Amino acid sequence: MNNRYDFLYIFDCTNANPNGDPDAGNLPRIDAETGHGLVTDVCLKRKVRNFVETTQPEKRIYFKEFAVHNLQHEEAYKALDLGDPKKAKRAEKDKAREWMCQNFYDVRTFGAVMSTKVNCGQVRGPAQLSFASSIDPIVAAEHAITRTSVTDEKDIEKERTMGRKFTIPYGLYKAQGFINPFLAEQTGFSEDDLALLFTALENAFQFDQSAARPAGSMNPRALIVFKHKNQLGKAPSAKLLEGVTIQKKEGIEVPRSFNDYTVNVPDELKKFCVDKGIEIIERI
């Protein structure tokens, strides 16, 4: 890969739970100091993995439901005839790591720690995402729900089961991303892999509907990519990503839709990028 990439990923949530916190009863994640909503990088990467696994099953996923990693690692040793993994030296482990990168999309994209009992080493992934943070503070709403059925016959006479679910009325979130071309060369992450990553982000919630995130409640709104002409890059990531403005429209106090905001790449940032040889690609 000959280019460095920085990108800004913007999505919103309406009457849904974008990323529940299991340590807080599955409440939407919130920055305790500012009240801004949070979505973890792990959550966003899971959307990418699920999209790739669903739409392109020929591209294998390492971190998926019911995966047994040592068995996956053993595949590498068997495929390359590297002998007993317990006796593997550095050279064998390096070959196994390379095989894992070649055969698992998310390993060569996001990296993985594979230094387990069957050791395939560690991979630093070229594609990294930050936590997503909401533009404005969010408010979590708690809803009581009931179930009219029971699990066991002996409970048939009991009253209906009560439960809780949590949503936020609305939140617009942004996350920052980065593609390291030097690490891409090490893992074999290609331009085709990059195109698939961006496609997955554009469709991240298309096949992710659930009771917590019903259809239409989660939507990508912008994917703004800064493509540098070389591997080192022509400007600091912060100057580019922080230069994109996201503001509430005049007169809007409590935003309830994406139409209540404006997302803008200012002219001065566009000129700066032209002068530096940085291409701006707005994919959504």
Cα–Cα distance between 18 and 132 in angstroms, integer?
A: 10
Position 145 scores a pLDDT of: 84
Residue 150 — pLDDT band, cuts 50, 70, 90? confident
Position 266 scores a pLDDT of: 97
Q: Which segment of 4-8, 47-51, 161-165, 238-242 scores lowest on mean pLDDT?
A: 161-165
Position 274 scores a pLDDT of: 97
Whether pLDDT at 21 is above 90: yes
* 8 Å CB contact between 169 and 143: no
Position 151 scores a pLDDT of: 78
Position 163 scores a pLDDT of: 77
Q: Which of 261, 197, 201, 268 is nearest to 239 (CA)?
A: 268
Q: What's the full length of the chain, in residues? A: 284
- Which of 148 and 280 is assigned the larger pLDDT? 280
Q: 219-277 pLDDT, tens per residue?
A: 999 999 999 999 999 999 999 999 999 999 999 999 999 999 999 999 999 999 999 99
Position 262 scores a pLDDT of: 97
134 Cβ contact partners less than 8 Å away, ≥ 6 residues apart: 36, 37, 38, 171, 172, 173
Q: Which segment of 104-108, 132-136, 158-162, 175-179 scores lowest on mean pLDDT?
A: 158-162
Whether pLDDT at 45 is above 90: yes
Cα–Cα distance between 124 and 91 in angstroms, integer?
A: 18
Position 240 scores a pLDDT of: 98
Span 25-37, mean pLDDT? 96
Residue 108 — pLDDT band, cuts 50, 70, 90? very high
pTM of the model: 0.94
Whether pLDDT at 146 is above 90: no
Whether pLDDT at 29 is above 80: yes
Q: 153-165 pLDDT, tens per residue?
A: 777 777 666 778 9
Contacts 24+ apart (CB under 8 A), 142-148: 142/166, 143/167
Tokens of 181: 């071309």
Residue 144 — pLDDT band, cuts 50, 70, 90? confident
Domain count, the chain: 1
What percentage of the chain carries pLDDT values higher than 70?
99
HEC readout, the chain: CCCCEEEEEEEEEEEECCCEEHHHCCEECECCCCCEEEECHHHHHHHHHHHHHHHCCCCECCCCCCCCHHHHHHHHHHHCCCCCHHHCCHHHHHHHHHHHHHHEHHHHHHEEEEECCCEEEEEECCEEECCEEEEEECCCEEEEEEECCCCCHHHCCCCCEEEEEEEEEEEEEEEEEEECHHHHHHHCCCHHHHHHHHHHHHCCCCCCCCCCCCCCCEEEEEEEEEECCCCCCCCCHHHHHCCCEEEECCCCCCCCCHHHEEEECCHHHHHHHHHHCCEEEECC
What mean pLDDT value characterizes the chain?
95
The residue segments making up the domain with residue 277 are: 5-282
Span 94-120, mean pLDDT? 98
